[in-house]
Amino acid sequence: MLIGAHVSAAGGANKAIARAEEIGAECFQIFASSPRMWSAKPVADEIVEKYTAEMKRTMMGPTVLHGKYLVALGSADPELLAKSETALRADIAAANRLSALGVIFHPASHRGQGFEAIIDQFAASVRKVLDSEPGDSLLMLETSAGAGDHIGSSFAELGTLIKAIGNDRVAVCLDTQHVFAAGYNIAVTDTLNVAIDEFDKEIGIGLLKAVHANDSRRELGSSVDRHENIGDGLIGTAGFTTIMSHEAFKRVPFYLEVPGTGKSGPDKPNLDRLKAIRSQVGAG
């Protein structure tokens, strides 16, 4: 179980490596491009070379890229759908260039159409994106907290989408805060076991490829996406001990997306908290 964090890639993906090293991350997540703007430029050869050399030197674990927040494959607006496909395609291309594990993106909203109505469109879009960018990098659907019309707050919905897509480059990133907000009490052994069984039945536990490790500022089932520092939220240190003790998480990289003790994003204290729990449960 590797423990990493989201870090800034300002100045190029290669610059993220030193930032990850500085806080003690063993792997990291970056934005492939600005998450709130449509523009994206391909990763330059020079960046790929520097990045590859630095990754080898530091022996950093698998990198994941986070997709744009604007992506909405459940939208009925053809222009927004086309822009979303283009953006995801650029992110997958970047992931392939950097030999990243994959791109994590939010299934986003069905925008009032209902989940059933968007399944075919969503699946066709994902297939199109993957077919246009062959390679090894995965496209990972992230579990959502379930606010409003958001897709993917139940493992059944994600499983339905993945079956409809029918491509073996599709996987799942489980966000501990989002699933807690969506009503899965992963902080307690009995209900964690039920949740993992449900994940396995609906999706297949082998498709769990990444974890966003975040404590929760909001209560179980709140549907609100509000991350908290590890140990300071309602999942708590005991909850993370439960999670990290479970077999399902033992070979999956963890990426922090917490506010940080100094409110400047994932930091060393949060990584140290997770690492302490990992050694306690013997999952190192």
CA dist., res. 91 & res. 95, Å (int): 6
Stretch that binds Zn ion, among 124-132, 148-156, 218-226, 233-241 (CB under 5 A): 218-226
Min CB(284)–Zn ion separation in Å: 26
Q: Which stretch binds Zn ion (CB under 5 A): 24-32, 47-55, 139-147, 242-250?
A: 139-147
Q: Under the criterion CB under 5 A, does residue 26 sit at the interface with Zn ion?
A: no
Residue nearest to Zn ion (CB): 225
d(CA 103, CA 91): 7
Q: Using the rule CB under 5 A, is 215 a contact of Zn ion?
A: no
Taking residues 175 to 214 in sequence order and writing x for each that binds Zn ion by CB under 5 A, - otherwise, the string is ----------------------------------------
Token pair 């979303």 is at which residue? 84
Place of tokens 């479970």: 246
Rg (CA), the chain: 18
Shortest spacing between CB 35 and Zn ion, in angstroms: 9
- To Zn ion, the closest distance from the beta carbon of 69 in angstroms equals 8
Q: Where are the alpha helices (DSSP H) in the chain?
A: 13-23, 45-58, 78-97, 115-132, 155-165, 176-181, 189-202, 236-245, 268-281
Q: Which of 85, 91, 157, 225 binds Zn ion (CB under 5 A)?
A: 225
Residue 4, SS3? strand
Return d(Cα 176, Cα 130) in angstroms, integer.
27
For position 133 contacting Zn ion by CB under 5 A, the verdict is no
Closest to Zn ion by CB, 26 or 225 = 225
CB 86 to Zn ion: min, Å: 19
Residues facing 217 on adjacent strands: none
- The nearer residue to Zn ion, 215 or 225, going by C-beta atoms, is 225
| Other beta carbons within 10 Å of 222 | 18
How big is the CA angle at 188 (ends 279 and 273), to the nearest 5 degrees? Answer: 30
Binders of Zn ion: how many residues, by CB under 5 A? 2
User: Which spans of this chain sit near Zn ion (rule: CB under 5 A)?
Assistant: 142, 225
